[in-house]
Structure formats: structure tokens, C-alpha cells
Structure 1
Amino acid sequence: MSSSKWTAADLPDLAGRTIVVTGASSGLGAVTARELARAGANVVLAVRDVAKGQGVAERFTGSWEVRPLDLASLDSVRAFADDWTGDLDVLINNAGIMAVPQGKTADGFELQFGTNHLGHFALTNLLLGQVRDRVVTVSSGAHRFGRMSFDDLNWERRRYDRWRVYGQTKLSNLLFTTELQRRLTEAGSGVRAVAAHPGYANTHLQDHTGSRVQHVLMSTLGNRLLAQSDEMGALPTLYAATQEIPGDAFVGPDGFMEQRGHPKVVGRAKAAQSEEDARRLWDVSEELTGVRFGLSTAAA
């Protein structure tokens, strides 16, 4: 079937497969987890608020469990990975925050960079030895206005700009995917690293910017006039997690400037194609988190 008309109804039978979805207690993560469970997967909702996650999952059809994970705490990330036993077919790095007021993670990183990139970087590498199929990382069209300022990734020297920071984190997601795929290939692994973006989806992500004006423009006017449903917004992630696409592929909507529509493999900004920046970001991320590549080069 052409990906241009692909929907969640086209998901394959996922019985026997285990899939982790971070940030699955609301929005696109909840829809992603629900549809994967409906298709037969055992879905693990990795969430900050376990009670909220359970409340969401209790409405699912299929197999699920909820585990605590706070991506803004490396201790929490390590605890989640330490508690994991057995194989993991797909890891979906979905959780994220967008254009929030300036803050810091438990480890002192800028909050958006620490949550959207560094937390997932650490989680992925700590679990990588158990992943059997692929890692899907959710980016955004906002990567197109992101810039990598390697001398100040945590925004300690510059005037804080929440949207520029967000763009940097979403660009980081794509550079991470590129370098992860390069390392997987070099290690002889059949695991794939891919990315997806939802376009403009009607979720609660726009509710936490801390700006009344932005809330009105995005949550009210933007969501009502431009956004597609969260069910449609989850399709690129579902497609990336289950369909036969190459490593380092990027999936997004096929309509109106990639803001809405059915999933297909899409392009990315020139800045997201820099292999040099991808390697440099990886090295910095290892230094900041203390987590190294999760496979040896001898992996089969």
C-alpha cells in the first residue's frame, strides 16, 4: 500500500513484540502506545507520572504496562534501564517538551536539551544491547530553524530563547539518529535508527510554553485552524516503527508543508545532514551524560 494513504488500520500484527514508548501518558505518545497495543504488541509506557499513565492505558485494548521514567534525571534513566530484562523490539523516543520557560534538569542541563536529547541519548545507549529491531526518535519540523552552538549547548552564555532552544533539540534528534545509524552499521548490527515528525498536531504540547500570548496563538488559533488530530499526528511514528524503511530515514506527513497528511519518508534541513556535527554532538553527549555507545564494534 502506498504510504500516502497509510493509516493505523494498516499496522501489521505485532503479537509477540515488545515496544517502549516514552512520554506515553498523553498526546501523541498515548495514541502511539494505544495503536501499537491494539495491533498486538506488549507496550511499555515509560512516563513521569505512573498514575496518569495507568489511567490512560486502562482504556487500551491489548497488553501494556507502565514504568516510571523521568528523562530530566539521569538517575531515573539509569534506573529504568537497570530494571529492564529481556529483549526489546522497538524503542520509541517520543517524550519531549516544547518552548518552556528556562529551567534545568536534575543534572544541571538546560531543560529542553536535557529532556529532548540527552535523556533519550542515555536511555537509548543503556538499552541498545537489548534492542532487536529499531530505535525511533521523534523530531519536529522545527529542526529547520535549529542551530548547533557547540560552545553553549546548555544556553549558559546567551540570552535564553525558548524557540531557538527547542529547534536545537529537534535538530539534535536528527543528528543523533544519523550518528546512531552510522555506529550501528559499523558494529555490524541489524538494528535501525530512524526518525519521525508529526507535523502540526493538536496536542497539549502547546499548553506549557509559559506564555499566555503563545498559548492563545498556538492552542486556540493554531490548533483549531491548522492542526491535524493527534491520531493523524501519531501516524509518522507508527509508520517509522513498523514499516520497511532504511536506517536514518525520516518520516513525516505528506501534505501542506509537511504539517498534515499521511506518513511518508521526507527530507531534512541541510544542518541535519552534517555528519561532522552528528559525530561532534555524539561526543559531547557522551561527555555530558557519562553514557557510551551501547554496542561493541564486534556486535553481530
Structure 2
Amino acid sequence: MTTWTGNQLPDMKGRTVVITGAGRGLGLITARELAGAGAHVVLGVRDVHKGRRAVADIPGTFDVRPLDVADLGSLRAFADAWSGDLDILINNAGVMDIPAARTADGLDQQTTTNYTGPFALTNMLLEHITDRVVHVTSQLHRLGKIDLADLDWRTRTYNGMAAYQASKLAVVLFSLELQRRLAAEGSPVRSVLASPGIARTSLAAHSPANIINRLTFLTNSPERGALSVLYAATQDVPGNSYVGPDGPGGVRGFPAVGRQGKAGLDEEMAAQLWNATSELLGIQAR
């Protein structure tokens, strides 16, 4: 099997990429590599000053803009300010196993950050996107369970890890339905999934045991984890491809096209989830 690395990135000159949550971790590495290949990279971050500091010494062309994926007003402002084509949108921002909390819109913080916010942003920007949308998901989507009647954890007892798993399964189903709709329209735009495996980043810092960052022998480095995102964003893969590490269990290794869990291929659930999400957010999705 050929090992794919960032050295094999194509020439990205003339391409514009938006990356959410790109001020640190996998998002920042992805931004650095794409800018190094010639792309104009727009970082959508909550703290613009921190974002600018993060890329200050990195070669390339960057634009840092305010964006909080858990705030519908912020999403609308970002999308309304966009003009011209956008080649690639990378929905990277995420949180993991955080305590129960509500956003300013009254939505579950974790679900909104990981799924419903990216759902809204993608639909708001879709008319500008010319190439693809990359959704960063997790192998833990395979353990997720979707409750269409309570997507937002209003009636169930909140469980941080269960909410994380459900949100990542929702991302996988979102990609499936988005790709179906794009294909039905004859659009050349692709929806692609990327799993970094288990990467040692600050994502798991809120998890009670922070066990992921302790199991270094089972995990990918952040640099290696970002390769799946870079591969999904730049390689000629079919719509709704699932890109993840090629090692045992898909938790570490180099990027390759694999297969999402069975629950992530349920077309009926994907369509129902799309409608339920649109209703929850009160937006007219594509």
C-alpha cells in the first residue's frame, strides 16, 4: 500500500479554502499545509486575535475571520459577508465529551458545535462552493445513536460521550444526504468525510479521564491525523467517501478511503435527520 503524506499535495494556487476552528490543532495544521501548497486559506475562528497569532509566522496567504459555529448569528454574519467562489469548505471545529451547556440560541452546545452548526454553515455557503465540503467526523460515530425526537438533548438525560458519538454519526448521515441532494441536482460538488483516527489533540481535554491523550501507543500524532483531512480535501475521491487511517481499527496510520459504519449509510435516517435538523434550526436547507 502506498503511503500518502502532505508532500503529495497538489498545487493549490488559485484555490480558496475555509476551515472552521482552524486556530489550533488539526485545523491549524490543515491550514498550514494547504497554504504551503498555494491555497488562500480563510480561518473561521471564535477569537480573531488568537487566530492571527497562530498563523503569523506561517508562510502563505491567510484571512482570519470571526466565526463561532455554535452561534447561529455568527454563522449568518460569516455567510452573508462571503462573496465570490469558495472551492473547499472544511467543517473542522468540534468539541468532545463536554458538560451539558446551552448556546445563546438555547441549543445543546456539543451537538451544535459538532453537527447542527456545520449543517447550517454548509447550507448557507453552498451556493458559493465549487468543489467539495469536507466533514471531520470520528470512528466513534459507529457507536452513535440518533434520537430524531430529541436531537438537542432536551428530554433525555444528557451524557457527554453519548452526545459526542451521536453528533459524529449525525455528521456522517449529513454527508450522505448532502451528497444525494447534490447528485440529484447534477452538481459537481462533493461531500466527503474525514476521520483523523484517534489523534492526540486538545479535543479530549474535557473528557473526565482524558484517556485518549494517555494512550499514545494507540493514537496518531496531530500531524498524522490531519493527513486524513488533507487527503479528503484534495484527492479525487467519490462523493461521500470516508477517509481515515489505514491501520487496525482505523485509529492510526496513513489516510486511505475506507467505509463508514452501517448506521451512517442509512438513507432513510439521513433524509429524516436532514428534515429534523432544518426544523430544529428554523432554516430552509437546500
1:260 partnered with 2:252: yes
**Higher deviation after alignment, 240-249 or 224-233:** 224-233
Give yes or no for the alignment of 1:237 onto 2:229.
yes
**Alignment partner for residue 198 of structure 1, among 175, 181, 196?**
196
CA distance in 2, matches of 1:25, 1:208: 18
What secondary structure is seen at the aligned counterpart in 1 of 2:104?
A: coil
**Mapped contact 1:125–1:291 kept (Cα < 8 A):** no
TM-score by length of 2: 0.98
1:218 aligns to what?
A: 212
CA contact (8 A) 2:198 2:212 kept: no
Shift of 1:153: 1.2
The alpha-carbon deviation at position 291 of structure 1 amounts to: 2.5
Q: Is the 8 A contact 2:200 2:212 kept in 1?
A: no
AA partner of residue 265 (structure 2): Q
Q: Where do residues 87-98 of structure 1 align in structure 2 (5 Å cutoff)? A: 87-98=85-96
Which one of 258, 280, 283 corresponds to residue 291 of structure 1? Answer: 283
Contact 2:69 2:113 in 1 (8 A): yes
Are residues 69 and 101 of structure 1, via their aligned partners in 2, closer, same or farther at CA, if it must alter by over 3 Å? same
- Which residue matches 1:161? 159
Which amino acid letter does the alignment assign opposite residue 9 of structure 1? N
Return the letter of the residue paired with 1:193. Answer: S
Aligned-partner residue type, residue 241 of structure 2:
A
- The amino acid of 1:30's aligned partner reads L
CA distance in 2, matches of 1:290, 1:80: 18
From 180, 183, 206, give the equivalent of 1:182: 180
Q: Secondary structure of 1:234's partner?
A: helix
Identity %: 51
Which 10-residue stretch deviates more, 238-247 or 280-289?
280-289
Deviations along 1:126-146, whole A, 9 cap, x unmatched? Answer: 100000000000000010110
2:108 maps to 1:110: yes
SS of the residue corresponding to residue 136 of structure 1 reads strand
Residue in 1 that maps onto 2:15: 17
Bigger drift between 170-179 and 284-293 goes to 284-293
* Counterpart mapping for 1:269-280 below 5 A: 269-280=261-272
Map of 1:32 onto structure 2 = 30
SS state at 1:169 partner: helix
Q: CA deviation at 1:218?
A: 3.0
CA contact (8 A) 2:16 2:40 kept: yes
Gaps of 5+ in 2: none
CA distance in 2, matches of 1:63, 1:56: 13
Matches within 5 A, 1:53-132: 53-132=51-130
- Residues paired across the two proteins, number: 286
Task: Give the secondary structure class of the aligned counterpart of 1:260.
Answer: coil
Deviations 1:255-274 (A, max 9, x none): 12111111011112111110
Amino acid at match of 1:218: I
Shift of 1:208: 2.3
Q: Name stretches of at least 5 consecutive residues in structure 1 with no aligned partner.
A: 295-300
Which of 151-160 and 99-108 deviates more?
151-160
Give the TM-score taking structure 1 as reference length: 0.93
Instruction: For 1:11 and 1:55, locate their aligned partners in 2 and report how far apart those are by CA, in whole Å.
Output: 25
Q: Which string of whole-angstrom CA distances, capped at 9 and with x for unpartnered residues, describes residues 59-111 of structure 1?
A: 22111110010011100000000011110000000100100001111211111
Moved more, 231-240 or 281-290: 281-290
Q: 1:138 aligns to what? A: 136
Task: Give the Å deviation of 1:51.
Answer: 1.1
C-alpha contact (below 8 Å) 1:126/1:291 kept by paired residues = no
Q: Which residue of 2 aligns with 1:172?
A: 170
Deviations 1:147-182 (A, max 9, x none): 011111111222211111000000000000000000
Deviation at 1:226, TM superposition (A): 2.3
Return the alpha-carbon distance in structure 2 between the equivalents of residues 281 and 70 of structure 1: 23
